[in-house]
Amino acid sequence: MKKYLHLLILVLPVAICLSMQGCKTKSDLIREVFGDYRSDALFFRTVGQGDDNDMQLAKSKAIHRAKLEIARNASSVCQQIVLDYLDQTGNGSDTRLKEQFISVSTESVSTSLVNVAIEDVVFEKGKDGRYTAYAKVKVAIENVIDTFAGRSEEKMDVNKEMLKRISDKVVNQINAQP
């Protein structure tokens, strides 16, 4: 009986907290700080979080994590463009061409990240003296796609019109997501 009572004492506060929605996850905290900050037709957007005893290191970590997330998103979009392009041209099984495209997309995303804009950084200081920084960053989708298309045209023999059409379609799919 005591065993169940101890278990109830441990589980009950968690259940109450969850049922009242009083517990906040990191994503809830980020939403509180920045609202519904997400990518749209014009920008890849994200919020990065960094923790450290030093305020500037917390800020640097937050910015770095936000840039990594944007790089993942941009890379995913470029890879979707590559796959669609290869399928439409009938070159889906050409591994050499696929590797060239992936190399160009990686290079393009890296180049595009130079133009990341840091819109805001908010700090919280915890009771333990540690800082938590939330960095809100964005980069223009057009910048990423144009860099990718330009590099693809420079380094490979691609159908420019088809690449543009596929790029527009992928970006429109992003915009249609809720």
Q: Which of 17-31, 38-52, 60-74, 101-115 has the highest mean pLDDT?
A: 60-74
Closest CA to 67 of 42, 51, 47: 47
- Min mean pLDDT across 2-11, 31-40, 103-112, 119-128 is at 2-11
pTM surpassing 0.75?
no
Q: Looking at the predicted structure, is the pLDDT value of residue 140 above 50? A: yes
Give backbone dihedrals phi and psi of 161, rounded to 5 degrees, phi first: -65, -45
Q: Looking at the predicted structure, is the pLDDT value of residue 91 above 80? A: no
Q: Looking at the predicted structure, is the pLDDT value of residue 48 above 90? A: yes
- Min mean pLDDT across 15-24, 72-81, 118-127, 169-178 is at 15-24
Q: What is the DSSP letter of 113?
A: G
Residues 6+ apart with CB under 8 A from 138: 43, 44, 45, 46, 70, 116, 117, 119
Give backbone dihedrals phi and psi of 168, rounded to 5 degrees, phi first: -60, -40
Residue 75, SS3 per DSSP: helix
Residue 118, SS3 per DSSP: strand
Return the domain boundaries, the chain. Answer: 26-170
Confidence of residue 174 (pLDDT cuts 50, 70, 90): low
